Each structure stands twice: as C-alpha cells, then as structure tokens.
Structure 1
Amino acid sequence: MTKMSDVARLANVSTATVSRVLRNPEAVTEPTKHKVLEAIEELNYQPNMLARHFRRTETNTILVVVPNIINTVFAEIVGGIEDEASKKGYRVLLRNSNNQIDSEYGSIEHMKQRQVDGMIMLSPKLDEETLLDISNQYPIVLATAHLDGVKIPVVSIDNINSSKKATEHLISLGHKRIAHLTGPLYSLISKNRCKGYRRAMIENGLEIYSNLILEGDFTYESGYKQMKKLLDLENPPTAVFAASDDMAMGVVNAAKHHGLNVPGDLAVVGFDNIKFSSIFDPPLTTIAQPMFGMGKRAMELLIRKFKGESLSQTEHVLPDKLIIRESCGTKQKESTVV
C-alpha cells in the first residue's frame, strides 16, 4: 500500500507538504504542487478521504492506545489523560494492544471508524516512518516513548540520567558487581535505561560484565527468572538495578527463595515507583516517574494540536526522583533525591 511518505520521497518534499497539497492546495506554490500531484498520479496514491473528513469534524473523543493495561504505570498515565480530558469535555476511548504491532495498526483503523479527534499512544512499537505518516493525517501525541529526530510531540522522563542516578546510588553504597535487568531491548526506553547504567559504571571506573546484563520484559516473572540465572553464576552480583519495579520485586523474591537476605546480601533498586513498591518487603528504592502528570501533559498537548497550535518543542521531559527505601540497604526513613 502506497504511503504519503512514498509520495513525499518521489516528489522530494516533506510529508507535511504532501498533506498541505491534499488539504489546503492554495497554500502551496504551483511548482511544488505540480511535483506532488505528479507523484500521486505515478504511485496511484489514494488519500484517505475519511481521515480528511475527521479533521473537520469534532467528536470530542480521543483514542488512547496502551501496550498492556495491566501494567500499573500505563494505568496511572491513562488516569492523568482521563482527568485532563474530562476537564476539557473530551471522552477517552481505550484500546489495549497487548504489545502486538498488528493491534497498533488496527488501532489506526479503529480510530477512523470511531471518528475520534486524535490519539495518544503509550510506548508504541510502530516504526517511526509509520508514526510520522499517521501524525501528518491525525493529531497524535506519544507518551513514555522517545523517537530520535521525529517531529511528533513526546512526553517522557530522561531515562538515561534517571538510570545513571539509580546505578550511582548503588555505587555510593560500595557495590562494584552491579547487575542490570533491562526491559525488552526493541524499546528505546529500555536501551536508554541500559545506557544510563553503563554510563554510571564507566564514569566510576567499574568494569561492566556482559553476563550481569540480562534482558527482561518489565514483568515480575522475568525479574524472578533472570535473577535465578544471576544467582547460578560463580561470582553473582551484590546489587541489581532493575528497569521496572515489577522486575525488581521478582529479583527480591528470587533472592529470598535462594536463602539470601535483601538488603543484607543483595541490594536492589527498581524503576517507576508503582504504588505497591512502598509496602513491598523490603520497601523498594526506585525511580519515581510522574505518571499521572505525564498523562495530563500528553492530553494538554493533544488539545493544543486540536486548536492548530504550532508546537515548537517536540520532546517534553518531566522531572523524575530517586526514592530511597530499604531494599538497597538504607536504614534511614524514606527520602527523596531529585
């Protein structure tokens, strides 16, 4: 199927220019318009007339695509989206993609059929070209994501520096053999959290052992499974930085079932600061994301796009915090490090 980006490539213009030729041709110079129309004819590109109609018809409904609704992080972000949406008179239509890329493609069709005004995608798996093509037809905002060089509004935290901060906390406690359980490495978020871990180790003169970096999928089960592998090593780690609180909890319980004491024998730091992390045994040291605030900001940006505002800032980075609790060996009361 021919995409708008194919037309743009053949005509040697941006996809935004192709979109303007289709929606507002009088705003484009004659030579440019001629090139685009020739490319459309040559490629037999069929513009989505329904999508063009949506841009003129307000439904006061938005679509939110979530990779896993069971994940507490996404649930809290959706809460922020719904809070802001209700204040502005918008309804929220939720679709759970179950981390399936086909479902994300289906969400686009679903969006057309439901005649929603726009879409917020949380940690999408769609390729950047497809996302850019969609964004040129519909108002779209991404959250908990990061795309290099793509001009789509994104709401996130600084995953590199936050992970560096978490790892440096373990280093400050005297640990040298620090393992890292990553999220799925197809995700740029997971790659950036691993990059932050590596950066902290290198800048503090510590060796990075490849067998101490294992890939998980942000779930409790993957944390438990990968920790058992680490415990089978001849020289296991004394500390673990997990890229999610769910994985960190799996790490702690695997260590306990192995007869270890946490934090006496093993220090653990997680990521996300989900609600259960403060009452887990032991309470988790973790990186707190402003999840509710991320959802609100994403909805605010989408509404600005509805109004036709030009968003000069593409990436909106919100502040994170290191929440220090007992799982890493800190005996003091819960404290916060920005």
Structure 2
Amino acid sequence: MKERDHPATLVDVARAAGVSPSTVSRIMNGTARVADAKRQAVLAAIERMHFAPNQMARSLKKGCTMTVGIVVQDISSPFFDETLRGVDDALLGTGYTSVVVSGHWNADEEADRIRLLLARKVDGIILLTGRMSDDTVLQFARERPIVATGRQLRSPGAVGFKVDNEHGAFIATRHLIDAGHRRIAFITGPAASSDANERLAGYRRALRSAGIDADHELIVEGDFHEHSGQRAIEHLLAHGIAFSAVFAANDLSAYGARLALYRHGVRVPEDVSLVGFDDLPGSMYTAPPLTTVRQPLYDLGRAATKALLSLLGRARPDDVVPPVELVVRETTRCVN
C-alpha cells in the first residue's frame, strides 16, 4: 500500500470505513445512531490512519476556541509569575489553554493587546492589573467575558478582584511605628497607579493615627522597579534627610533600597529598618529576609480564573481571595 504523503482527513476516514463524512463526524461527537459494526469500522479507520481532527476548526464551529487570553504588564516580573502560576493551576483539567500578552503598563497598548486576543477568538480574557479605565474594560466585556485584577467590577460580562492596598500599607507603617520609628521614609509607586496611591494613603493614615506629621521630604517617588528604590535611597542620603526606617511600595523597590543602603554602609536592620509590599518568592531569601506585606498573588490568579470559567458557564467561582497580611522577618527591629 502506498504511504500517505499528507495527514489523513475526515474524507479519507469516511472512504476507508465506507461511510459518509458526516457519519464520521457524528460518531466522533457521540451524536450518531449507527450500527455497532459501522461504528467499529470508523473507529478502526481513525486509529489505523492516525486521524487527528482539527481542534481549532471544531471549536470555531461550536462557537468557542477553548482559549483564554491573559494580559500581564511585565512578563519578566516575579509579581506576575506568581499570579500566572495560579491561573495555570486553575486551568488544569478544564481543556482550556492560555495565550499571554503584555501591556507594558500602557493603556493604549493594553487595549491593542485585547483587540488582538479578540481577533484570535479567545473565549475570555484575564486582565492582570493595568492602566485602562474601568469604562474601557466594560466596553471590551461586551464582546467577551473579562475578569480583571486590581479593580472592582461587577457586570454581566465582567468581574474585578482588588486587594486592600490601603490597609496593607497601614499595617506595615504601624509595624514600624510600634517598633519606635518616627522618621519613616516611603518610596512610592507610579503616580498613575491606583495601587501605589492607595499604599501612599495607608502610609499617611498610619502616621496620622500615631499623631505623626507626614514629612514630604520622606516621601520619594519610585516606579515599582529595583532601580527606583536604589535611586530613592541615594536621594535621601545625598540630601542629608534623616530616617530610621524605609517602607517601599513594593518588594522590587525594597530590593533596590537594600542594595543602596548596603553600598553606603548602612546596616539593615541595625541602622535602618526596611519593609516591602507583595511578598515575592525571593523576599524570604534576601539578606536579611525581608519583612513585607503579603499579597495573595497565587490565590488571586486562581480566583480570577475560576471567575472567568464561571462567566463562561464552565465552573463555579468558589475561590476566595485571602486578605493581605504582614509577614515579619528580619529587616525590622525596635529602636530605643
């Protein structure tokens, strides 16, 4: 018998089994009422010819592609690694695959990436934080279900999950205040980030609760990246601004701050206490291990995925996102 020079098609299987292509299709879909001998002939032909149906074509015919689009902001960030791990685990066994794209913290680029995913006929979209307005997200949700983190949404086609950034920053700052610190520097996140602004608000509220006036010189602009934390400490030291503790708006900024303090011979925590926000996997392995506010990043990814599957009619949104909590390690100490 001549070896085939192309993959077997539905028509090839039908011809080999002596049935119509529609019969093969209905047998594969489990909807055909045929004699057992005919069914066995089709199944034998499928196995003999190594027939693999075009899953994409079948999915499109059914009106779904079993694909979920995920928009992250920085695919190199460990922050998104943890959340994506939760997404991946929640998709296991569901038959869905994911397509990941990056918005690079730019609202226009995020919108372009969502349009790209829609053009690829994804069944739904998970938007991990970002800069787009809620109104824009809701407009896209009219075309496909969307679950977004970092914002509160509730509509027929959209769900949002948001952690309490303000409370997390409050408990972090109170931890330093209760340890005796009064000159607490704060390294902010980007001004356009709602998460960053909420953490600044929590820092300010904690100071007010302790009767401490906020000193604008102690609030230094950052951008959630390591270099901005390093630059913030360089600024404070170069201008002779006294501080006994630093609260960085995220762990990456805290890493940069730790490096700058080390290079200037400032010991942590003996000379300066340091607190971050996120509890990235690497934060327990810094030297010394970082005190930080734990965001439930993995749980957030799972909950967002379960919520999207629920919108798609595939699951119940049974995952609850735990609250933020302070994880005290070895970068903070009491002062006299």
Task: Indicate the TM-score class for this superposition, using the shorter chain for normalisation.
Answer: 0.7 to 0.9
- What corresponds to 1:161 in structure 2? 167
How many Å separate the matches in 1 of 2:74 and 2:61? 29
1:74 aligns with 2:68: no
**Offset at residue 80 of structure 1 (A):** 0.6
1:134 aligns with 2:140: yes
1:282 aligns with 2:310: no
- What corresponds to 1:181 in structure 2? 187
**Offset at residue 150 of structure 1 (A):** 6.4
Query: Helix, strand or coil for the counterpart of 1:189?
Result: helix
The one-letter amino acid paired with 1:140 is I
CA distance 1:283–1:327, change in 2 (3 Å): same
Query: What are the Cα deviations for residues 31-60 of structure 1, in whole angstroms up to 9, with x where unaligned?
Result: xxxxxxxxxxxxxxxxxxxxxxx8971111
- What corresponds to 1:321 in structure 2? 325
- What corresponds to 1:7 in structure 2? none
The one-letter amino acid paired with 1:146 is R
How many Å separate the matches in 2 of 1:310 and 1:265? 50
Q: Tell me the TM-score normalised to structure 2 length.
A: 0.76
User: RMSD between aligned alpha carbons?
Assistant: 2.4
How many Å separate the matches in 2 of 1:55 and 1:238? 64
**Offset at residue 102 of structure 1 (A):** 2.9
The one-letter amino acid paired with 2:151 is H
How many Å separate the matches in 1 of 2:183 and 2:90? 44
Question: Is this contact kept in 2: 1:181–1:242, CA < 8 A?
Answer: yes
How many Å separate the matches in 2 of 1:93 and 1:217? 27
- Structure 1 unmatched runs, 5+: 1-53, 331-338
Query: Helix, strand or coil for the counterpart of 1:93?
Result: strand
1:62 to 52, 60, 68: 68
**Offset at residue 82 of structure 1 (A):** 1.1
**Offset at residue 103 of structure 1 (A):** 2.1
The answer to which of 206-215 and 94-103 deviates more is: 94-103
**Offset at residue 208 of structure 1 (A):** 0.3
Q: Tell me the TM-score normalised to structure 1 length.
A: 0.76
**Offset at residue 318 of structure 1 (A):** 2.9
- What corresponds to 2:129 in structure 1? 123
Question: Is this contact kept in 1: 2:91–2:305, CA < 8 A?
Answer: yes
Q: Percent identity?
A: 34
How many Å separate the matches in 1 of 2:309 and 2:287? 42
1:235 aligns with 2:241: yes
The answer to which of 119-128 and 102-111 deviates more is: 102-111
- What corresponds to 1:261 in structure 2? 267
Query: Helix, strand or coil for the counterpart of 2:277?
Result: coil
**Offset at residue 219 of structure 1 (A):** 0.8
How many Å separate the matches in 1 of 2:323 and 2:199? 15
**Offset at residue 108 of structure 1 (A):** 2.0
Question: Is this contact kept in 2: 1:158–1:317, CA < 8 A?
Answer: no
The one-letter amino acid paired with 2:107 is I
1:206 aligns with 2:207: no
Where do 4+ consecutive residues of structure 1 move more than 4 Å?
A: 308-311
How many Å separate the matches in 2 of 1:250 and 1:165? 22
How many Å separate the matches in 2 of 1:84 and 1:159? 24
- What corresponds to 1:219 in structure 2? 225
- What corresponds to 1:109 in structure 2? 115
Query: Helix, strand or coil for the counterpart of 1:326?
Result: coil
**Offset at residue 233 of structure 1 (A):** 3.0
The one-letter amino acid paired with 1:198 is R
For residues 91-110 of structure 1, the aligned pairs below 5 Å read 91-110=97-116
Query: Helix, strand or coil for the counterpart of 2:299?
Result: helix
1:90 aligns with 2:96: yes
**Offset at residue 308 of structure 1 (A):** 9.0
2:298 to 289, 292, 299: 292
The one-letter amino acid paired with 2:147 is V
Question: Is this contact kept in 2: 1:263–1:328, CA < 8 A?
Answer: yes
How many Å separate the matches in 1 of 2:61 and 2:100? 20
Alignment length, in residue pairs? 274
Query: Helix, strand or coil for the counterpart of 1:271?
Result: strand
CA distance 1:155–1:56, change in 2 (3 Å): farther
Query: What are the Cα deviations for residues 57-115 of structure 1, in whole angstroms up to 9, with x where unaligned?
Result: 11110000000011111111011111111232210100022223332121122112211
Query: Helix, strand or coil for the counterpart of 2:92?
Result: helix
How many Å separate the matches in 2 of 1:96 and 1:309? 26
1:197 aligns with 2:203: yes
- What corresponds to 2:312 in structure 1? 306
The one-letter amino acid paired with 1:321 is E
Larger radius of gyration: 2
**Offset at residue 309 of structure 1 (A):** 9.3
Query: Helix, strand or coil for the counterpart of 2:331?
Result: helix
Query: What are the Cα deviations for residues 192-233 of structure 1, in whole angstroms up to 9, with x where unaligned?
Result: 111111110101101101111122111111100011111123
